[in-house]
Structure formats: structure tokens, C-alpha cells
Structure 1
Amino acid sequence: MRTSFVSTLALWNSSKTSLDKMQTGLVKANKELVTGRDADVGLKLGYKTGQTLSLRQDRAEIDALIDSNASILLRMKSSTTALDQVRTNGDKFMDALIATPLNSSSLTTVMYQARVNLQSMVSSMNSNVGGQYIFGGINSQEKPLNDYSGGTPTLRAAVSIPVSGLSAGDVIRFGVGGTPEQVFTVTGETTVDALVTSINAAVAATTLSGVEASRDPVTGNLVLKSIDLMGKTDVTGSFTDVDGAGIPVEGSVTRSPQAAVASAFRSTFGFGVGDAAVSTITPGDMKTFLDGSFAALFEGSNWQDWSNASSQNIQSKISATEKVEASTNANGQGIQKMAMAYTMISELGLDRLGETTREALVSKALETFSEATTGVKTMQSKLGAVQEKVEEADERMSLQKDILDAKVIHLEAVDPAEAKIRVDRLMTQIQTSYSLTAQLRTMSLINYL
């Protein structure tokens, strides 16, 4: 019989090699036990790996849409809450206006409350969520509504308009004392002096009216000065340069809403809101003013004195196949009417008007409040309809997530009981290996000599 020689070093190394394999297996088994997923999906599935990757990508897209919808719902719920406050305040004020006898002791209180409610409405419209103004439409980085009381500056007798690079097609727009905007289109004028000559000639020919043109000797700007002898001297103007790429570049003069109201009032009646002559305004004249130049301040381009919001709302994708208008803006008719009604009560000399004229004003204000609350309700109902769509999309996507999860589990999952058995077996083997290694280390020929 032949015996072979086995060294102690070989015995030590053999246990070390098997121990490394068992530790690697233990890490893999532990990972599968914790995650419930095969430690090496690619090795297990082979050519089916692309299928599980595709399913996980679809799952990730749904998660992203659900997270986005959470932000959309927060914005919409905040918008609904703000609109509800605006509508509730309007209803309460309208009820108080109906119930309160308007006499010398109550007028001051009513006017004050109208100013407070107007400021509260502006504050509500300037609400922001996550650093974005929720009533700004797509212009969510700028406050939607300007403060009403930006001051009532002295009426401007002239406006200085920056004009440069004149070419055919450029446009000068201006208004005097709240009158309708007038337009002058550049044809062959190439300098400000030539422009001055042409505008003054148009005024002389009555094509344009109300101003005298000149060139500012310091700035070189075009200056349009009112020639109205009735004191209606508030002048605004802008220049649109359509040269080059055809994208208008405007230099314009803006006013606070309060200044715009004061200008329209003075232009219509020939005196200011604080003048004693306010008591002479007749109901007919007041009605004409309210339905005409005053109402015009709250619509069209004049609303820009109030609003910086875009009328285009944010479009958001709420599912793989659906896109909705997920916001509203401060240019809604309900907001315009609400601002108009509060301004009627607070800024048109309610405490100075004659009794019959005051009644006509209050009657118009109540009518406007009614239209305003209806408009705000319409805005809320549109938000509510979209909110319902978003919630329904979330429910559908939650079901889709469950289906995708089931498919992924079918491909990748491991039996947790089997994984636990492997972990326990490997732990036992490793402990045994450590014990044997310790015994081998104590083996020495010296102990047997």
C-alpha cells in the first residue's frame, strides 16, 4: 500500500478557499432574503433581462407622473382655497352692502372694508406654492397682481418715449387723459426730428389729436406733450420696433391701478375724486362713466395696469396619454369684476356723492359683485373638474403599478423560505469551517514527540 504526503499548509488553504466561496454565497443569499429579488437577475433571466428592464422603466415613469400629479394637486387645491376666500369675502361684503343703511356714519366703514377686501384679493391672487405664483399662468415667476395703491402721482403732462433705429413699420402708441389709444406708424422717418415733424403734421391734419411732439435735447427721446386745455393731461405711450427679426421691443410707461382710476375719473368729469364737485355728478353721468371708461380699465390691455399674469395656463401631463390645463390665472373675468366692484365702492367718492348718484353706484356695484362671484365659481368648477381628472389618473396608474410589480416579481422574485434555509446552512458551514481551521492550527508534530 502506498501513502501520499499532505502538508498542513495545504489543509489550511483548502479551508480558506471553501470559506471564501461560502462567504460570497452568504452575501448573495442575504441580499435575496432582504430584497426578495434574485441577486443576479441577468444571470437568472438571460435573454429575458430586457423584459424586466422594460417593466421597471414603465414603473419608474408611472412613479414620476404620480409625483408630478402630487405637485399639481397641491397647486390646484391651493388655488381653490384662495378662490374660495375671494368668493366668500365678496359674498359677505355684498350682503353687508345690502343690509347696511348708507349714511354718514356707515360710509367710511364700508369704503374702508372695500379697500381691505381688495387688498386681501390681491394677496390671495399672489399666493405661491414651491416658489411659483399659482395664479400667474405660464408666467409663474412674477407676482400676478400689482398693489392697487401704488400711489396717485401727479398727472403727467408729457411722456418721454425711447425711440431708436427707426424703420418702416415701427409703431408709436399713445393715450391722453384716458382717451382711446392712438397709433402712428413710421413710414419714411429715419430720425426723431423727422418723427416729430410727421406727428405734429398729423395732429394739424387731425389724424392724431391731443399732443405736441418734440425731441428731448438731453436724452434724444421722443416727447409727447398734452395740449388738452381741460386739464386731462395724463399721457402714456410706447414704441414698438419691428426691425430685424420682427420681434417687438417695447419701451412703455405703466401706471398703478389707482393712478389709472384717478386718470379715468378726471378725464370724464374734469375734476379729481377728492374734489368737492363730486357731489354734482348725476346718476346718468355716473352710469355712463361706470359702463364706459371705468369698465374699460378692467378688461383688455388696460388690465395690464393690474395684472402681470399670463392668460395662458400651464399644461401638465397627468398620465401617459392625458394632458390638462393644471392651473388658472388672475386674468379671469371673475377676478376682474371683483376688483371693479371693490374699486367702485372704495375709490369713486362714495362719501361725497349725492344720494341718488350714490344709490346708482351701489346698485351697479351689487350687480358687478354678483357677476364676480359667478365668475369665480366658474374658475373653481374648472379647477375641480381637472382635479378630478388628476385623481382618476392617479387611481389608474396605481393599478398599473400593481400589475407591473406582479410581472416584475414573477420574473425576478426568489422564494424567501429557500433563501432563509440557504443563509442558515451557509452560516453553519462557515462556523464549522472556522472551528476546523482553529483545530488545524493547534496540530503540531511536537505534540506527539
Structure 2
Amino acid sequence: MKTTYISTISMSDSARTQMMKQASTVNTLQIELSSGRKADVGLDLGSRTGEAVTLRSEFYYLHSIIDTNALTASRLDISQAALSDIRTNSEEFLASLVAVRDSDGAASVTQAEAEGGMQLLVSRLNTQLNGSYLFAGLNTDEVPIADYSDVTSANKVAADAAFFAEFGFTQDDPAVAGITVAQMDAYLTGNFANMFADPAWGTNWSTASDLEVESRISTSEVLSTSVSANEEALRELAQVYTMMSDLGNVNLDSEVFKTVVDQAISMLGSAIAGVTSLQGEIGVAQERVSQASDRLSIQTDILNERVNALENVDLEETSVRLNTAITQLETTYAISARIQQLSIINYL
């Protein structure tokens, strides 16, 4: 025969242990009710924990691409706006050249417009976003185009040197009036044109890379999302503005001036078409980025639902369980208090 000893202290200790377990349960349920998520996902899911971790990893990866796409979209929007300004200004300059070609005093008018056009071109091609130059290709930390208005700039120095080497005097020399149509035509298609072709363009005008920035816009798509300042259309615009602002046009013979204007008009038409094409490419990229983000948003919503199904709790069920646990804990407290009051002395 086995005798089990029952004492007030053993009963009290048992009650205390029970209260600790119930208090822990109440605390866990309160956490789940306030957060809506399992207090210990690993303990609750067991072997399915790996699935939850994988889903969360995929969710954060796709979400990071969506965030990157938002920045990419901003870069494309600003690039599109810059190209629009460049195109609009060049169209207005073309209209002005056609209108004043045979007018007296046209040279001074077009020179001022060309200087303004050059400043706008340089300004827009040197556009920044978050410290990165948008038209610099991969060289995003370098200013793409040298400022032609700076007399010490490499492109201005090269243009002055080329003119002097060709004619033997500077652009503001009265001797400019003696340049013939043949001489000017030879210069425009020869040494002058060479300044805007490689390697002179990369040496004196541009630090931009021909390689453009590529962005991952989805798990399977990589897209070119920039325009380089080295594009042919942008070089042609720089050539036209230089031609019309810094060849001593005010002092040129009228027929020679018309030769310069005709060359500028022809080149402007080509440049405007080129800029329009670049805008079209940017527009296509904008649409693809937008569509990719929309698809990724749908995917992340699905992943989020699956993660929630694994990790979230039923709030109504949790609320009922919490109320039950609190009731049980209060009952245990009451019983424990009664046990604490038990004493054999009361029965002697």
C-alpha cells in the first residue's frame, strides 16, 4: 500500500504552477489579439515555417523592385520633360531661322536666340536627380556637357582654335566679312563638323558614357532607362547653336550667312526628328515600368494574403480564448486564495 502525503504547501505550489501557465497563456493571447499575428510563428507553424519564410522573402524582394521602379519612373519623367523643353526650343528656333533667313539684321537676332538655345540645351542635359546626372549614361556622377558660355571651357576653346586655324583670324575680327561661301561650306562640313564627332566630342564637349543605365523592372525584365548626351540628335543641336552663335555671323557676307542658315535649318530638322524619337523611346520605357509595377503589386498582394493566412490569427476566436483564459486565471486565483487559508488548526 502506498501512502500519498497531501499538505497545504504542496497544494499551494501546484496552484502557483497552474497560475503561471495560465498567466503565460493570457499574455500570449493578448499579444496575438493586439498584433493580429501569432505570437510565436515558428512554434505554431512547425514544419510550415519554411514556407512562411520563403513567402516573406519573395514579398520583400518584389516590393524592393516596386520601390526601385518608383525612382526609375521619376528619372524617366524628368528626362522626358527635359527632352520636351529641348525639342520645343529647337522647333521655335527653326521657325525663327526660316522666318528671318532673308531679313536684314537677322544675324544679331538669331545669334541671341542661339546663345539662349545653347544655354538651355546644356542646362537640360546636365539635369540631376538625387545627385545623379540623368544624361550622363553610366557616368552618373560626372557633369555630362561642358558649359559653352564659359570662355575657359574645353569646347569653347576648341571652337575658337578651329575657327582661327581655318581662317587665320577670330570670330569677332572684321576680316570675317571676307569669308566666301565656298570657304564657309568647307569649314562647316570639315573641321567644324569634326568638333561634334568622336573623338573630339568626348574630349571637349561630353563626359557622358555611350552605355546607358539599365534597370531591373521585374523579376524577368531589364530595361534601358536613360538617354546619353552623346546621342546624335543632341550633338546636332549643339552644332547648330554653335554655328548660329559663334561664327561671327553678324559680320558675314549676306550670302555666306544664308549658307550658314540653310545648313542650320537642314540640321535642325534632323535633330528635332531625333529628339522626338528619343522621347518616344522614353515614353515606351515609362509605360513598361508602369505596367511592371502594376503586375508586381498584384503579385505582392497575393503573397501578402498567403503570408497572412499562415501567420495571422482569427481575432474573434482569439478574443473568445482570451476571455476564457482570463476567467480560468481568475478562478485559479480564487481557489489558490482559499487554499492559502486552509489550516489544520481550524479543525482541532
2:294 to 392, 395, 398: 395
Q: State the Cα RMSD in Å.
A: 2.9
Equivalent residue letter for 2:88: T
Structure 2 gaps, min length 5: none
**Equivalence map 1:146-161=2 (5 Å):** 146-151=146-151
Partner of 2:65: 65
1:125 and 2:24 are equivalent in the alignment: no
1:42 CA displacement: 2.4
Partner of 2:162: 264
Q: Secondary structure at the match of 2:297?
A: helix
Change (3 A) 1:444 1:366: farther
Count of matched residue pairs: 344
Q: Is the 8 A contact 2:137 2:208 kept in 1?
A: yes
Flag the structure with more relative contact order, 1 or 2, with Cα contacts below 8 A and sequence separation at least 6: 2
1:385 and 2:284 are equivalent in the alignment: yes
CA deviation string 1:273-329 (max 9, x = no partner): 111111111223222211221111111111121100000012222211111112121
State how far apart, in whole Å, the 2-side matches of 1:24 and 1:42 are: 17
1:3 CA displacement: 12
1:405 to 304, 309, 312: 304
1:335 and 2:234 are equivalent in the alignment: yes
1:332 CA displacement: 0.7
Partner of 1:177: none
Q: TM-score, normalised by structure 1?
A: 0.69
Partner of 2:174: 276
Deviation larger for 429-438 or 82-91 = 429-438
Q: Is the 8 A contact 2:119 2:149 kept in 1?
A: no
Partner of 2:325: 426
Deviation larger for 418-427 or 31-40 = 31-40
1:287 and 2:185 are equivalent in the alignment: yes
1:429 CA displacement: 4.2
State how far apart, in whole Å, the 2-side matches of 1:130 and 1:439 are: 71
Name whichever structure is richer in helix by fraction: 2
Q: Secondary structure at the match of 2:215?
A: strand
Equivalent residue letter for 1:103: D
Partner of 1:108: 108
Q: TM-score, normalised by structure 2?
A: 0.88
State how far apart, in whole Å, the 1-side matches of 2:63 and 2:190 are: 53
Structure 1 gaps, min length 5: 153-254
Equivalent residue letter for 1:143: V
CA deviation string 1:339-379 (max 9, x = no partner): 11111111111111111111111121122222211111111
Change (3 A) 1:433 1:259: same
1:363 and 2:262 are equivalent in the alignment: yes
Q: Is the 8 A contact 2:33 2:319 kept in 1?
A: yes
Q: Secondary structure at the match of 2:190?
A: helix
CA deviation string 1:240-294 (max 9, x = no partner): xxxxxxxxxxxxxxx6111111111112222211111111112232222112211
1:37 CA displacement: 3.1
State how far apart, in whole Å, the 2-side matches of 1:103 and 1:432 are: 106
Equivalent residue letter for 2:178: T
Q: Is the 8 A contact 1:150 1:257 kept in 2?
A: no
Change (3 A) 1:14 1:377: same
